[in-house]
Amino acid sequence: MGNAFFVVWRESLEAFLIAGILYAWLQGNDPGGKGKRALFIGLGAGVGLALLLGWALLTVQDELSGNALEAFQIGTLLVAAGLITQMVLWMRKNGRQMKARLHADLSAAAEKSGFVGVAVVAALAVAREGAETVIFLYGMSQEGDYGALIGGALAGFAGAGATAWLAAKSLARLNIALLLRLSSILLLVLASALFVAAIDRLIGAGWLTPMLDPVWDTSLLIDDTTKAGKLLADFSGYRARPALTTLLAWAAYWIVVLIAWRRTGRG
């Protein structure tokens, strides 16, 4: 539940902030109010596109079985890990210019296509965040606790709305930039956990060799089969009895991420 809450909170918060930026631009450039109506239509369409992706994923899964289903689910884990990593690094590099870019896109769309263009910009902006959320949640759903997943997702959405509202009202002196930076680090930890889960499943399916299994055994300290240990494993990728292949994959992920983090910081 905690992972679902965190991911949905972060993605929904970005969507709320994007909607707020677009609305603020229209406040000063849409005296008639038609652009705002187009904005809300576009936001609804973006949510609809994300839900459509979720339906497509479930439909594809229902049509698969055996090795095909295993490959599809492993692929989804890898895509989710990759998308989280890409999103964090993109925001690190472009976050400061996001407001200016959205305003430029909205201005150009309004000039070329009128209010239809406004709706399209809003739909694409929200659909991107929503599609990422759907893929992340689908990857997490493979752990099997759907009730906790849904509860965490709904709580995350509500929490994001409350956070955005508090920021807009300047209550509690919320520092959104700091929240996003801290959540970026936690998202990378979560992405590494999804990546490790995919590697474990590749080993379990016989498609990767473990090389040495296990490298060590820390189950006496923290057993990843207990409730607390599983929570740590799901969030951070911790394994009490890791295979060498899993460790090498985890290390490679963080080497790549740290190099990219330094490079995006210079941009």
Per-residue pLDDT of the chain (267 residues; tens, 9 = 90+): 567 887 888 888 878 888 887 887 777 777 777 778 888 898 899 889 988 988 998 898 888 889 999 999 899 999 989 988 988 888 787 766 766 777 787 777 777 767 787 788 788 878 888 888 888 888 777 766 677 778 888 888 898 888 877 776 655 556 667 777 888 888 899 899 999 999 999 999 999 999 999 999 999 999 988 888 887 888 888 999 999 999 999 999 999 999 999 888 765
Pair of tokens at residue 113: 């296509």
Reference 139, options 61, 203, 48; nearest CA is 61
Q: Which residue type occupies 165?
A: W
Look up residue 170 and give its DSSP letter: T
d(CA 101, CA 110): 14
The CA R_g of the chain, rounded to the nearest whole Å, is 20
- Supply the DSSP string of 178-245, one letter for each residue: HHHHHHHHHHHHHHHHHHHHHHHHHHHTTSS--SSS-S---TTT--TTSHHHHHHHHHH---SS--HH
Distance CA 137, CA 2 (A): 12
- What residue ranges do the domains of the chain occupy? 2-266
Question: Cβ(17)–Cβ(176) under 8 Å?
Answer: yes
Distance CA 77, CA 206 (A): 17
**Residue 248 in contact with residue 235, Cβ under 8 Å?**
no
